[in-house]
């Protein structure tokens, strides 16, 4: 596990979050306390308890003074405090943990590199959390972690994960949650065990003495009884008192003002904010209202919204006076959350039409200086789809609509785009969305429209960097469309166009988006594969499979490895196909990508391999898994792969009629795929043969292009069954297996020859050929050909040296009391492969009735890894259920 992460480009501490954007440093900054901050010793003393309990919760309404209390306390620690202001924008677990890890690192908590970090915004590997907890638990002094505005975390999964880390970090971690609402943690458990420090609203409320002291900091002398009235009016609410002080400060007669306020009956914040706001200069008021559409801002961004240049002194002044804004460090500010909402309401009243325009200006500024995600967010808020789609396409980020990383978020973002938005970029986004759901016709309509308008666009004098990016995006979508249509000619043209365009696009964009090339090569390879051009396909797919780039290219890597596995399977190399298919699975399991995004071709290959090994239950499970979770990509290759695996499985189960139906090609494609046709004919022929119609079987295969060895072998089998051994041998001789053909084909060929020899009475040759077939098949556990061979082979396998060759993997180990082993006695199949150490670990825990999740936590590996181990344990033990696995393991004394 650690090895994997170390080898990647992401080995050391990352500079970017899982979405590839730089971390917002402002979210790690402990907020600075204004000059008028009042330290309240009773709260500080209570908060000191936080060092003694794993969990501390500071809980109160907006403006209750929670954040400043904890910030002040944190600043007084003799050791670093990891501070993270959570953000509603990144709800994904991956983003949360990436930021939390970064918060730890930037506060100076050394974390070993092998903890790794989440690569996907929406998921986090459980083992990462386990490693983090283990590292924290080994520390002498606890690490203090503050999560501010934790109420923004609404995902119960994050709460669960936080609870897991907190629990397993033991004394190594002290967590302080600053929140407006009760968090989704099992608080009662912590309370009952006395493991929790709680500071709630009642305790945060100002006392009369404290209120008087606070007003004094603002230069207002108020006797305690008068302060008591104020406390009653505001219920000790910190923000209310602070606004009150600000308003009174600027009033000619503060004392009378305070009296009036007491008597007033309006809502506190509403009234006070309006009061304080109207005392600001018009410029300041304008700035405050406009920035209320932003989460955070720096002076330049504020200037972009006001179209003035005075933001810097205004913001500095507001911060000094502790009015409205908080300083986040690095010249970034935000509005106090409470005032932000009210200011937003004021903006809507004063300038109802300005809001979209402000979002548009923010989006434009962010496009130049900020992150793509924020740009897109404001672009959408402005309702400017041409701009938003243009930003995505110009950034060469269109591939992210497919790669499963941000694809869900992006799809959601653009799902609100109406038909009125018209630009090449919006058409490209529409085409991408349709094609990603395999709606070829609709996708092509949009794509053609985009191409047409791009062709009319002339490169402007300044080089129009967007044009090449848009054309490259077109080429990518064209390649995908070609793949879905099974059209190698179009895929090739698209790839050539893309190659030329890649020279025109800025290099840094290509470097930032490795998924573009990886996707392109996968589509090209898939199309070559469909057309039967295995060598061209292999070249393109190998390029895609070798792409670096971590999570962003995981999906194309999975797909290309799956396709390479299919090539091996079609050539008859089961072991190689299986290894590549498992590697494909590892690619996405590693990044926890959503299963549905790819074609799941590797599952189909594994299923087909399982059929050839006569592990039919396993094959069915794999096919079901492929049908359940891989709906997204329906290209001809996947459809043909499914038809082959399903047809062969049904044949093996003796359901010949169903096999005939399943093997029928259900795909429309521009060119005929020789292997897809060949295999359809093969299954059909085998079905007819099984039902005793060798003539029909032989005829079916005549139509197949003759360079397919597998079909020639099956045709020979049909000829032999029809009583024409000479014709059979002729067929085999003329289709002499070439070098690349693997055991799944050659073993079948040897068996046809052996049967012919057996029929002609040449038992020596027959034995020799069967022995050769057994030798070849043994390593691959290729059982199906022997089971299909017919009754003639049984006597051979049960006697002499052949019995030894078959025993242990094809036929049961002979019992000491003799008696001929029967091929039908296959089940329970013997263990043919040693269990690995890790598989044994998993099996032992399985026997202890532990759940998959528990095993994962216990072994510090991911749930997916455990599932992988379980799958191979099941396969090696030839069972389908955990109960059977345990029983079988006990029988074999593995436990």
Partner 1 sequence: MRYEIRVEGHMSETLTRAFPELDHVVMSGQTVLYGSVVDEAHLYGLLARCQSLGLRVMEMRQLPE
User: Applying CB under 8 A, does 270 fall inside the site for partner 1?
Assistant: yes
User: Applying CB under 8 A, does 274 fall inside the site for partner 1?
Assistant: yes
Query: Considering beta carbons, is residue 335 or 468 the nearer one to partner 1?
Result: 335
- Tell which one of 202, 349, 461, 764 touches partner 1 (CB under 8 A): 349
Residue 61 Cβ vs partner 1, minimum distance, rounded to whole Å: 6
- CA–CA separation, 277 vs 272, rounded Å? 8
- Tell which one of 239, 289, 425, 637 touches partner 1 (CB under 8 A): 239
- CA–CA separation, 839 vs 846, rounded Å? 10
- Tell which one of 28, 73, 97, 237 touches partner 1 (CB under 8 A): 237
- CA–CA separation, 596 vs 605, rounded Å? 17
Query: Considering beta carbons, is residue 212 or 268 the nearer one to partner 1?
Result: 268
Residue 187-226 contact track with partner 1, rule CB under 8 A, x = bound: ----------------------------------------
Query: Considering beta carbons, is residue 344 or 448 the nearer one to partner 1?
Result: 344
Q: Give the distance, in angstroms, between the CA of residue 832 and the centroid of all CA atoms in the same chain.
A: 35
- CA–CA separation, 890 vs 892, rounded Å? 5
- Tell which one of 218, 290, 327, 346 touches partner 1 (CB under 8 A): 346
What is the DSSP annotation of 389-425?
Answer: HHHHHHTT-GGGGTSSSSHHHHHHHHTT--TT--SHH
End-to-end CA distance of the chain: 26
Nearest alpha-carbon partner for 560 in 539, 544, 571, 573: 544
User: Applying CB under 8 A, does 342 fall inside the site for partner 1?
Assistant: yes
Query: Considering beta carbons, is residue 280 or 680 the nearer one to partner 1?
Result: 280
Residue 503 Cβ vs partner 1, minimum distance, rounded to whole Å: 50
User: Applying CB under 8 A, does 519 fall inside the site for partner 1?
Assistant: no
- Tell which one of 269, 372, 715, 805 touches partner 1 (CB under 8 A): 269
Query: Considering beta carbons, is residue 13 or 267 the nearer one to partner 1?
Result: 267
- CA–CA separation, 861 vs 854, rounded Å? 10
Beta-bridge partner residues of 247: none
Determine the size of the site formed for partner 1 (CB under 8 A): 26
Residue 418 Cβ vs partner 1, minimum distance, rounded to whole Å: 22
Residue 269 Cβ vs partner 1, minimum distance, rounded to whole Å: 3
Residue 262 Cβ vs partner 1, minimum distance, rounded to whole Å: 13
Query: Considering beta carbons, is residue 37 or 271 the nearer one to partner 1?
Result: 271
Query: Considering beta carbons, is residue 274 or 583 the nearer one to partner 1?
Result: 274
Query: Considering beta carbons, is residue 272 or 376 the nearer one to partner 1?
Result: 272
SS3 at position 198: strand
Query: Considering beta carbons, is residue 180 or 533 the nearer one to partner 1?
Result: 180
312-341: which residues touch partner 1 (CB under 8 A)?
337-338, 341
The answer to whether the beta carbons of residues 392 and 428 sit under 8 Å apart is no
The answer to whether the beta carbons of residues 678 and 705 sit under 8 Å apart is yes
The answer to whether the beta carbons of residues 324 and 288 sit under 8 Å apart is yes
What is the DSSP annotation of 18-33?
Answer: TTSPBP-GGGGSPPPP
User: Applying CB under 8 A, does 267 fall inside the site for partner 1?
Assistant: yes
User: Is the peptide bond preceding residue 560 cis, with omega within 30 degrees of 0?
Assistant: no
- CA–CA separation, 1 vs 590, rounded Å? 9
44-73: which residues touch partner 1 (CB under 8 A)?
61-63
Q: Which stretch binds partner 1 (CB under 8 A): 233-241, 355-363, 517-525, 632-640?
A: 233-241
- CA–CA separation, 467 vs 372, rounded Å? 18
Query: Considering beta carbons, is residue 158 or 428 the nearer one to partner 1?
Result: 158
Residue 423-462 contact track with partner 1, rule CB under 8 A, x = bound: ----------------------------------------
Pairing, β 173-179 against β 55-59: parallel
Query: Considering beta carbons, is residue 67 or 473 the nearer one to partner 1?
Result: 67
- CA–CA separation, 219 vs 208, rounded Å? 17
User: Applying CB under 8 A, does 344 fall inside the site for partner 1?
Assistant: yes
- Tell which one of 130, 185, 245, 268 touches partner 1 (CB under 8 A): 268
Other CB atoms within 10 A of residue 624 CB: 12
Give the single-character DSSP code of 193. Answer: T
- CA–CA separation, 45 vs 67, rounded Å? 16
Site of interaction with partner 1 (CB under 8 A):
61-63, 180-181, 235, 237, 239-240, 265-271, 274, 337-338, 341-342, 344-346, 348-349
């Amino acid at each position: 596990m650690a090895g994997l992460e170390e080898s990647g480009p992401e080995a050391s501490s990352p500079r970017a979050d899982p979405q590839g954007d730089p971390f917002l440093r402002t979210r790690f900054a402990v907020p600075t306390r204004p000059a008028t901050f009042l330290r309240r010793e009773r709260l500080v003393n209570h908060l000191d308890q936080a060092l003694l309990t794993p969990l501390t919760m500071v809980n109160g309404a907006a403006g209750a003074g929670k954040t400043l209390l904890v910030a002040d306390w944190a600043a007084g620690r003799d050791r670093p405090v990891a501070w993270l202001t959570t953000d509603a924008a990144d709800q994904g677990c991956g983003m949360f943990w990436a930021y939390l890890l970064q918060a730890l690192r930037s506060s100076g908590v050394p974390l070993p590199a092998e903890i790794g970090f989440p690569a996907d915004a929406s998921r986090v590997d459980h083992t990462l959390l386990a490693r983090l907890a283990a590292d924290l638990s080994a520390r002498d002094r606890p690490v203090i972690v503050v999560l501010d505005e934790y109420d923004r975390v609404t995902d119960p999964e994050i709460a669960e994960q936080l609870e897991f880390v907190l629990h397993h970090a033991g004394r190594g971690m002290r967590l302080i949650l600053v929140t407006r609402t009760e968090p989704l943690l099992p608080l009662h458990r912590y309370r009952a065990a006395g493991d929790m420090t709680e500071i709630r609203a009642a305790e945060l409320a100002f006392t009369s003495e404290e209120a008087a002291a606070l007003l004094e900091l603002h230069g207002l002398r108020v006797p305690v009884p008068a302060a008591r009235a104020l406390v009653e009016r505001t219920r000790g609410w910190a923000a209310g008192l602070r606004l009150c002080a600000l308003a009174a400060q600027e009033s000619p007669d503060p004392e009378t003002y305070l009296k009036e306020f007491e008597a007033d009956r309006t809502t506190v914040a509403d009234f006070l904010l309006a009061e304080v706001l109207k005392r600001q200069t018009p410029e300041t008021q304008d700035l405050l209202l406009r920035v209320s559409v932003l989460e955070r801002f720096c002076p330049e961004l504020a200037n972009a919204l006001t179209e003035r240049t005075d933001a810097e002194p205004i913001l500095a002044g507001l911060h000094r006076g502790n009015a409205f804004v908080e300083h986040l460090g690095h010249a970034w500010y935000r509005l106090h959350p409470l005032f932000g909402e009210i200011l937003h309401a004021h903006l809507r009243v004063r300038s109802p039409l300005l809001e979209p325009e402000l979002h548009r200006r923010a989006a434009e500024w962010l496009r130049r200086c900020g992150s793509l995600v924020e740009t897109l967010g404001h672009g959408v808020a402005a309702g400017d789809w041409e701009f938003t789609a243009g930003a995505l396409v110009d950034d060469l980020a269109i591939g992210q609509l497919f790669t499963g990383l941000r694809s869900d978020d992006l799809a959601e973002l653009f799902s609100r785009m109406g038909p009125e938005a018209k630009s090449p970029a919006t058409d490209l986004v529409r085409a991408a969305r349709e094609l990603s759901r395999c709606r070829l016709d609709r996708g092509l309509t949009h794509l053609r429209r985009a191409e047409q308008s791009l062709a009319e666009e002339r490169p402007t004098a300044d080089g129009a960097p967007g044009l090449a990016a848009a054309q490259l995006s077109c080429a990518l979508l064209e390649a995908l469309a070609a793949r879905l249509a099974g059209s190698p000619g179009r895929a090739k043209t698209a790839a050539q166009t893309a190659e030329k365009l890649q020279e025109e696009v800025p290099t840094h964009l290509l470097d930032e988006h490795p998924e573009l090339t990886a996707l392109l090569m996968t589509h090209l390879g898939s199309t070559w594969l469909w057309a039967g051009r295995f060598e061209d396909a292999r070249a393109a797919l190998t390029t895609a499979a070798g792409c670096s780039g971590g999570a962003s290219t995981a999906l194309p890597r999975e797909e290309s490895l799956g396709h390479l596995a299919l090539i091996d399977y079609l050539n008859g190399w089961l072991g190689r196909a299986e290894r590549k298919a498992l590697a494909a699975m590892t690619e996405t399991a590693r990044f926890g990508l959503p299963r549905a995004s790819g074609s799941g071709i590797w599952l189909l290959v594994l299923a087909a391999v399982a059929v050839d090994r006569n592990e039919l239950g396993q094959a069915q499970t794999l096919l079901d898994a492929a049908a359940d979770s891989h709906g997204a990509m329906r290209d001809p290759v996947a459809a043909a792969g499914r038809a082959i695996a399903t047809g062969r499985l049904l044949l093996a189960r003796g359901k010949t009629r169903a096999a005939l139906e399943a093997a029928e090609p259900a795909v429309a494609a521009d060119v005929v795929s020789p292997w897809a046709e060949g295999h359809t004919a093969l299954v059909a022929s085998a079905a007819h043969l099984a039902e005793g119609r060798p003539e029909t079987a032989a005829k079916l295969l005549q139509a197949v292009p003759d360079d397919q060895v597998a079909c020639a072998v099956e045709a020979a089998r049909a000829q032999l069954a029809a009583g024409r051994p000479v014709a059979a041998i002729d067929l085999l001789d003329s289709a002499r297996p070439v070098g690349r053909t693997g055991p799944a084909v050659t073993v079948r060929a040897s068996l046809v020859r052996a049967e012919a020899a057996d029929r002609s009475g040449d038992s020596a040759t027959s034995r020799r050929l069967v022995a050769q077939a057994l030798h070849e098949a043994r390593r691959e556990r290729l059982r199906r050909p022997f089971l299909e061979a017919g009754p003639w082979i049984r006597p051979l396998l049960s006697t002499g040296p052949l019995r030894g060759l078959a025993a242990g993997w094809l036929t049961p180990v002979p019992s000491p009391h003799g008696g001929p082993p029967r091929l039908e006695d296959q089940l329970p199949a013997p263990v043919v492969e040693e269990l690995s150490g890790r598989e044994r670990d998993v099996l032992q825990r399985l026997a202890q009735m532990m759940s998959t999740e528990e095993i994962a936590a216990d072994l510090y590996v991911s749930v997916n890894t455990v599932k992988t181990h379980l799958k191979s344990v099941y396969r090696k033990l030839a069972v389908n259920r955990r109960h059977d696995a345990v029983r079988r393991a006990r029988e074999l004394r593995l436990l």
